[in-house]
Amino acid sequence: MLAAALVYALVFWLVGSRWPKVPLMLIFALAPFQNDISATFAMEPERPDQQASGGPHFSIAEIHLLLTLPLFFLRRRPVIFGPLFVPTCLYLGLGVVSSLAHWRPTSLVSLIQMGMYLVISVMIFTSFAKSADDFRPALIGLVAVGAVLATAVLVTRSGYVLNLHKNGVGGSLATTVIVCAELWFSARTRRERWIFGALMGLLVAGLFFSLSRGGWVGALSGVVLLLLLRREFTKLVRLSVFMVPLVAVCWALLPQQSKSYATGFDRENWNIRLRFMSLDYAKAQFESSPVLGVGVGLRKEYDATNLFMLTLAETGVLGLGAFLYLHVAVALMVWKARRFIARGDLLFTPLALGGALVLSKFIHGMVDHYWSRGALMIAWASAGMATHAYVIGRRRWLARRRAATAEDPPVLAGATPSAA
């Protein structure tokens, strides 16, 4: 196995050094497969769903991310620091300080996880690509993987497919719906619109039957943000004509038990009761240390299904402020870039997806696990794509302004136009 892993790494580095779009595609498109395939993985015979050994565990996308890191430095790619640099350092710094003050057995693993998603994935997707074209295989690859997951959900009528939890499947399908919607909005030919339209129908049906209500809300919030950024309200009407009947048919096909689960928000329901218990536990932890929290790693010690209370409990009021500041920085970066990146520009797609996918995961995290594999990798990798688009787009915009100023210099005060 070790020899095979070394051969795979060498092939990966050879291919990736020539075509950077390949590593980006393998990281982004394979993120929905959250299964642990690292060397530390072990199964207990009586608990096949649990990890028996300690230490970090890695999915296939995370392994590809780590393999890309040395390739990134060997190719001497420029490290681009966008608007997310300061808020990321602030949040991670507070996480480290909180963890040092209240060290937990799970702190190191959680900090490594945060570094992989918030730093390494953002850095690689910001700086490793040569152009916006390098992102397209990653986006199409994710839609293809999402179509496989959606088909499996529809065939089995269950979100528990391929040894994945339904909420993990739902979160991945939610991100895939958003990506497919953007590819449909930006399609340049009638054939592309038909293909992505059909795939979006399949993905929406699969997401619906996954019964992941957090995934439903996350997908809806991401698509709405895409519409606001693109101002494609005419296409929204056309999309609704197809999607509304599709959702109605899917609802009619759901078993009564699934309908009751999807619409049941009574506190007596076991899943709702567990969420309230988790909120109460996080609140008690926060109250014991409201300023800095009780340390990163708490997320692995209870059922952390509310991002707001989890962040308060782990890093206190200061950490929550830094975490919200990071998300505001993403929103402002995307919103400001609209003035110098046209909707028809290839850079607009990664820019819009960065805002939509980060928002979708944030909303989803309010009712489900945030710090988990799959959708989180996709969200912060897309934040890297958006940073790439912002930096390149702003650079081009400033170059155009300088060129325009050089061609038409301002008239000096007191001078006639001819003298100027």
Res 400: pLDDT: 86
**Domain-wise residue ranges, the chain:** 19-40+55-72+82-398
Average pLDDT along the chain: 86
**Backbone φ, ψ for residue 49 (5° rounding):** -90, 0
Q: Label residue 403 by pLDDT band (50, 70, 90).
A: confident
Q: Label residue 73 by pLDDT band (50, 70, 90).
A: confident
As given in the structure block, the two tokens for residue 247 are 């959702």
Choose from 163-167, 216-220, 272-276, 351-355 the range with maximum mean pLDDT.
Answer: 351-355
Q: Label residue 262 by pLDDT band (50, 70, 90).
A: low
- Whether residue 261 is predicted with pLDDT greater than 50 in this model: the reply is yes
Sorted by sequence, the CB contacts under 8 Å of residue 14 that are 6+ apart come out as none
C-alpha separations of 275 from 263, 285, 304, 337 in Å: 16, 15, 8, 38
- Whether residue 93 is predicted with pLDDT greater than 90 in this model: the reply is yes
**Backbone φ, ψ for residue 281 (5° rounding):** -65, -45
Q: Label residue 381 by pLDDT band (50, 70, 90).
A: very high
d(CA 372, CA 286): 21
Res 416: pLDDT: 47
The string of pLDDT tens digits covering residues 291-331 is: 999 999 999 999 999 999 999 999 999 999 999 999 999 99
Supply the DSSP string of 45-94, one letter for each residue: TTEEEEE-S-S----HHHHHHHHHHHHHHHTT------TTHHHHHHHHHH
Res 361: pLDDT: 96
Instruction: Find tokens 């992102």 and name the residue.
Output: 135
Rg of the chain over all Cα atoms, to the nearest angstrom: 23
Mean pLDDT value across residues 269-285: 84
Nearest to 66 by CA among 14, 26, 108: 26
Q: Which residue has the higher pLDDT, 321 or 77?
A: 321
Mean pLDDT value across residues 91-118: 95
Q: Label residue 137 by pLDDT band (50, 70, 90).
A: very high
> Is the pTM for the entire model greater than 0.75?
yes
Q: With contact defined as beta carbons under 8 Å apart, do 319 and 376 qualify?
A: no
Mean pLDDT value across residues 170-186: 95
Identify the weakest region by mean pLDDT among 72-76, 93-97, 103-107, 284-288: 72-76
The string of pLDDT tens digits covering residues 187-240 is: 989 999 999 999 999 999 999 988 888 898 999 999 999 998 988 767 667 767
Element (H, E) at 168: helix 166-185
Q: Label residue 54 by pLDDT band (50, 70, 90).
A: low
Helix, strand or coil for residue 44?
A: strand
First-to-final CA distance of the chain: 74
C-alpha separations of 365 from 4, 56, 370, 376 in Å: 37, 22, 5, 10
Res 40: pLDDT: 44
- Whether residue 413 is predicted with pLDDT greater than 60 in this model: the reply is no
- Whether residue 358 is predicted with pLDDT greater than 80 in this model: the reply is yes
Q: Label residue 35 by pLDDT band (50, 70, 90).
A: confident
Instruction: Find tokens 């057995």 and name the residue.
Output: 105
Helix crossing, 60-74 with 2-18: angle to 10°? 50
- Whether residue 47 is predicted with pLDDT greater than 70 in this model: the reply is no
Q: With contact defined as beta carbons under 8 Å apart, do 21 and 385 qualify?
A: no
Q: With contact defined as beta carbons under 8 Å apart, do 356 and 375 qualify?
A: no
d(CA 274, CA 267): 9
Please, what's the largest Cα pairwise distance for the chain?
A: 90
Res 43: pLDDT: 37
Mean pLDDT value across residues 31-56: 56
CB atoms within 10 A of CB 392: 21
- Whether residue 46 is predicted with pLDDT greater than 70 in this model: the reply is no
Q: Label residue 266 by pLDDT band (50, 70, 90).
A: low
- Whether residue 107 is predicted with pLDDT greater than 60 in this model: the reply is yes
**Backbone φ, ψ for residue 50 (5° rounding):** -110, 155
d(CA 67, CA 12): 8
47, β-bridge pairs: 44
**Backbone φ, ψ for residue 65 (5° rounding):** -65, -45
How many Cα neighbours within 13 Å face the side chain of 74? Answer: 11
d(CA 330, CA 309): 21
Q: With contact defined as beta carbons under 8 Å apart, do 127 and 12 qualify?
A: no
- Whether residue 267 is predicted with pLDDT greater than 70 in this model: the reply is no
Q: Label residue 383 by pLDDT band (50, 70, 90).
A: very high
Q: Label residue 5 by pLDDT band (50, 70, 90).
A: confident
d(CA 392, CA 59): 31
Res 283: pLDDT: 94
Q: With contact defined as beta carbons under 8 Å apart, do 356 and 186 qualify?
A: no
